[in-house]
Amino acid sequence: ACTFFYKNDLKGKTVLVSAGPTVEPLDPVRFISNHSSGKMGYAIAGAAEKRGAKVILVSGPVSLDPPVGVACVPVGSCDQMYDAMFDHLDQADIIIKVAAVGDFKPVSVNAHKIKKTGDQDQDHMTLELIQNKDILKAIGLKKRKDQYLVGFAAETRDLETYAVGKMEKKHLDMIAANIVGKSGSGFKADTNKVKLFTRDGHVTDLPLMTKEKVAHAILDAVVQAIS
Ligand code: CTP
Ligand code: CA
């Protein structure tokens, strides 16, 4: 048998990762969500654990098992993810926010199943939504100087402009930008194409590779930045 040895370069560090989609309930049986599979965030959590870190994974509902050795905190809505992230923020040395957070939630959650009226003249239905909290921006404002904060940006165009803009607006140390909607990259795929930007001006254009390799490459860049 062949054993692959991981660098132990995250030993003594606590890494807080968020992954997966958020789910915003409309009524007891319905919700608004997105296609995030959780694969990228789970790959980062697993890779960090193998490199010696203590890992806390705050996860929206996905069909993956948490990586062995990782403490998983399951959440549903953006508000729940916000609370779980802030519950664990103080002890984290590195925070990596991979989750696809819903930008809006229903203004109110119906206590009972929403009924259709049955009236053929009323064939339209309007949902009123309100903006969710920006978890990453709130962490960026609150984090200590010794904590390293990494965000993700999913873009369909103007990758660099939007990603760097988000890094500044949310006070991040690094942003991993990925083009979504192209084959082999993004939400459901096992591979990803990511470009890393750091606050101090480093740019790393990673090739299309498995999410596990992308995870290790992101952690390489983080380790380099903090050491
Ligand atoms: N994010 C967050 N809370 C939100 C929305 C986004 O923490 N309510 C985080 C995501 O986890 C990701 C980063 O912000 O790490 C960027 O998410 P993205 O959807 O690309 O950017 P937004 O700021 O939401 O802007 P937009 O969707 O309009 O492009
Ligand atoms: Ca968004």
> What DSSP letter does each residue of 119-172 carry, written as one string?
-TT-------EEEPP-HHHHHHHH--TTSEEEEEEEESS-HHHHHHHHHHHTT-
| Any ligand 1 atom below 6 A from CB of 58 | no
| Any ligand 1 atom below 6 A from CB of 154 | yes
Spatial separation of the C-alpha atoms in residues 55 and 46, rounded to whole Å: 8
Average pLDDT over residues 122-150: 95
| Any ligand 1 atom below 6 A from CB of 135 | yes
Examine the pLDDT at 120 and tell me if it is beyond 70: no
Predicted ipTM? 0.99
Confirm whether 34 is a catalytic residue. yes
| Any ligand 1 atom below 6 A from CB of 177 | no
Examine the pLDDT at 50 and tell me if it is beyond 70: yes
At residue 7, the pLDDT reads 86
At residue 184, the pLDDT reads 73
Give residue 8 CA to ligand 2 midpoint distance, Å. 34
Q: Give me the catalytic one of 8, 34, 110, 192.
A: 34
The per-residue pLDDT of the chain, averaged, comes to 94
At residue 118, the pLDDT reads 62
At residue 3, the pLDDT reads 62
At residue 4, the pLDDT reads 66
Global pTM reads 0.95
At residue 122, the pLDDT reads 74
Residues, CB within 5 angstroms of ligand 2 (ion): 103
**Ligand 1 atom nearest 137 alpha carbon:** 7
Q: 51-109 pLDDT, tens per residue?
A: 999 999 999 999 999 999 999 999 999 999 999 999 999 999 999 999 999 999 999 99
Average pLDDT over residues 17-23: 98
Give residue 106 CA to ligand 1 midpoint distance, Å. 18
Percentage of the chain surpassing pLDDT 90?
A: 85
**Ligand 1 atom nearest 18 alpha carbon:** 11
Give residue 153 CA to ligand 1 midpoint distance, Å. 7
**Ligand 1 atom nearest 139 alpha carbon:** 7
At residue 87, the pLDDT reads 98
Q: 158-217 pLDDT, tens per residue?
A: 999 999 999 999 999 999 999 887 767 767 789 999 999 999 999 999 999 999 999 999
> What DSSP letter does each residue of the chain carry, written as one string?
---PPPP-TTTT-EEEEEESB--EEEETTEEE-----SHHHHHHHHHHHHTT-EEEEEE-S-SSPPPTT-EEEE--SHHHHHHHHHHHHTT-SEEEE--B--SEEESS--SSPPPP---TT-------EEEPP-HHHHHHHH--TTSEEEEEEEESS-HHHHHHHHHHHTT-SEEEEEE-SSTTSSSS-SEE-EEEEETTS-EEEPPSEEHHHHHHHHHHHHHHHH-
